[in-house]
Amino acid sequence: MSATFQWVQDNGVASAKVATVLGISGNLFNYKKKDDAIAANYGTYPVTATQRSYEVYLRGKFTGTFNRVDNIQFWRSTDFSPNTGLSIKWAPSSPSAYATPVSGASRCVSAIPTSDPGTANVRCRGGLASGLVASGYTDYIITQLDTTSAAIPGDTSLAIFTLNYDES
């Protein structure tokens, strides 16, 4: 048997968060000025020049029968096009505890790697080497879109994020 992977997005106030299983590929979420997991409504809540999106709280969900999932690596494999005035930041030392997402200054201050980092950069159970030995989740991968005055109005292409892991 092997592990089954899916992306999960959590949103809402911390005391009543909502977990939405997004799947494994496709347009799973959009950065916007609303904290929800509805990918299709980004046009109603656009992030315009000089604004930040709400933080997006993602987790990897692993189910099935496996011995261990570890060495979890996250990176942006394809950037937006055009990407003028757009940057996606993340919080690589993200805690495992959820907090209500914000759209202002946040804990997301680091650039997301743009190639395979080669070693674990996503935590499970609070540590980079902890991994999972049964069905469960990674710690949160918190990201946020930040724009400058140079951001071009309108849609961009999709940015592609990759989560890689070892399984035994």
Q: Quick one: residue 64, left, alpha or beta (phi over 0 = left, psi -120 to 50 = alpha)? A: left
- pLDDT higher than 80, residue 1: no
Provide the pLDDT confidence category of residue 158 given band limits of 50, 70 and 90. Answer: confident
Q: What percent of the chain has pLDDT over 70?
A: 98
Query: Measured between alpha carbons, how far is 100 from 74 in angstroms, rounded to an integer?
Result: 22
Q: What domain range is 137 assigned to? A: 3-167
3-state SS of 46-115? Answer: CCCCCCECCCEEEEEEEEECCCCEEEEEEEEEECCCCCCCEEEEECCCCCCCCCCCCCCCCCCCEECCCC
Q: What is the CATH number of the domain that holds 154?
A: 2.60.40
pLDDT tens readout for residues 72-99: 999 999 988 888 999 999 999 867 789 9
pLDDT tens readout for residues 125-151: 889 999 999 999 999 999 999 999 999
Total domain count, the chain: 1
Q: What percent of the chain has pLDDT over 90?
A: 79
Q: What share of the chain is helix, strand, coil (3-state, %, to 5)?
A: 5, 35, 60
Provide the pLDDT confidence category of residue 3 given band limits of 50, 70 and 90. Answer: very high
First to last CA, the chain: 10
* Token pair recorded at residue 78: 């394809």
**What's the mean per-residue pLDDT of the chain?**
93
Query: Measured between alpha carbons, how far is 117 from 156 in angstroms, rounded to an integer?
Result: 25
SS3 126: coil
Radius of gyration of the chain (CA): 16
Provide the pLDDT confidence category of residue 103 given band limits of 50, 70 and 90. Answer: very high
